Amino acid sequence: MGTQFWWFYDVLAAALTIGIVYVVVAKGFNKVVFQLVAFVASLLVGILGANFLAPKVYEEMFQDKVRGSIRYCLEDENFDIYESASEALALSAAQDEKTPDAEELHTAFIKASKAPTPVLEDWYMEAFSNVLLSHLNRVQPMHPMTAYAPIEWMSQPGGWCDVLTVFEEGHSADLVIEHIEETCYRDNYIQLVRLAMFLLIELVMLIICCVIASMTNNLDQSMHLRRGDHILALPVALVEVIVFLFVICVTVRFIVQFTDGEMLLFNQPTIDETFVFRYIYGVQEMLF
């Protein structure tokens, strides 16, 4: 992924800072004092509201759909996990290296599952977990592809048996579906919902701020501005800069996560190349 447009974020941050400081300082403290309270309140309400609402919104609007997609993946008759794992092993093998076919992989599973102490090789579990994760992500994107792999569960005592037994005829997938949803999807989707809720709340709050600013501006038209008023307006301007840059960072992060960082401008390597913007972006990540 190219990072040649890293400068865009720093230029945007600098232009926004200069523009807001100039406008706010020119107005003077008396005309923007209410904006200080409004912008701080909007940021706090956005963060607290998004953190509170995100899990509830996910559970009400997305959880059932995600679990339905996982069920479809596991019960898809066109998906043969043993055949897919065999093909993946063949592609990754060294030249002339013999790899097991689908029937041999299935036989190994049946044999291991009936043993007094079931044991499977790490390469076996890794092959199946990678294939399963890839298949799940194609049908129901994880936004982004999660670092968790089913191998973490399969590596637990009896875990691999729980996963692979799903693909045997007559076995329920409910336990595996619930586990995959919780470990591969839930946190990622709640994070997306949290970012979207913050932007929505912030949009409403900023509209209210603009209305208040307009009203106070009309009330203060006749007020005489002293030099000190312009100096006192500087902290207000800096607060507004912080709020706007925070909103921009959240917007960028939402796009990066939703597109899995595959867009030319919206990807983590590009952000990491910036001189200033990356630090602001990092603060936003700590708060969210």
Per the domain annotation, does 70 fall within a domain? Answer: no
HSE on the CB side for 208, CA within 13 Å? 16
Query: Final residue of a domain: which of 182, 197, 217?
Result: 182
Rounded to whole angstroms, the Cα distance separating 80 from 74 reads 10
Q: Cβ(173)–Cβ(71) under 8 Å? A: yes
Do 109 and 174 belong to one domain? yes
Do 54 and 197 belong to one domain? yes
Count of H-run helices and E-run strands, the chain: 13, 0
Query: Final residue of a domain: which of 154, 182, 210?
Result: 182
Do 52 and 13 belong to one domain? yes
Do 22 and 38 belong to one domain? yes
Rounded to whole angstroms, the Cα distance separating 167 from 172 reads 9
Rounded to whole angstroms, the Cα distance separating 230 from 101 reads 76
What DSSP string runs through 5-72?
TTHHHHHHHHHHHHHHHHHHHHH-HHHHHHHHHHHHHHHHHHHHHHHHHHHHHHHHHTHHHHHHHHHH
Do 218 and 266 belong to one domain? yes
Do 245 and 150 belong to one domain? no
Per the domain annotation, does 235 fall within a domain? Answer: yes
Do 243 and 203 belong to one domain? yes
pTM: 0.81
Sign for the pseudo-dihedral over CA of 243, 247, 253, 257: positive
Q: Indicate the number of domains in the chain.
A: 2
Per the domain annotation, does 67 fall within a domain? Answer: no
Give the list of residues 6+ apart from residue 270 with CB closer than 8 angstroms, or none.
Answer: 1, 2, 3, 5, 6, 9, 264
Query: Final residue of a domain: which of 182, 201, 218?
Result: 182
Q: Which domain holds residue 248?
A: 7-61+188-287
SS3 content of the chain, % helix, strand, coil (to 5): 75, 0, 25
Q: Cβ(39)–Cβ(240) under 8 Å? A: yes
Per the domain annotation, does 82 fall within a domain? Answer: yes
Do 111 and 136 belong to one domain? yes
Do 112 and 157 belong to one domain? yes
CA angle 92, 124, 91 (to 5 degrees): 15
CA angle 192, 198, 200 (to 5 degrees): 105
Per the domain annotation, does 68 fall within a domain? Answer: no
Rounded to whole angstroms, the Cα distance separating 277 from 7 reads 9
Q: Is the peptide bond between 144 and the residue preceding it cis, with omega within 30 degrees of 0? A: yes
Do 172 and 192 belong to one domain? no
Per the domain annotation, does 66 fall within a domain? Answer: no
Closest CA relative to residue 132, chosen from 176, 74, 65, 178:
74
Per the domain annotation, does 56 fall within a domain? Answer: yes
Rounded to whole angstroms, the Cα distance separating 119 from 111 reads 10
Do 198 and 163 belong to one domain? no
Local confidence pLDDT in tens for the 288 residues of the chain: 567 888 999 999 999 999 999 988 887 777 777 778 888 888 899 999 999 999 999 999 999 999 999 888 888 888 888 899 888 888 887 777 788 888 988 888 888 777 776 667 777 777 888 888 888 888 888 776 555 545 555 555 556 666 777 777 667 778 788 888 887 788 889 999 999 999 999 988 878 777 776 776 555 554 554 555 777 788 888 888 998 999 999 999 999 988 888 888 898 899 999 998 999 899 888 877
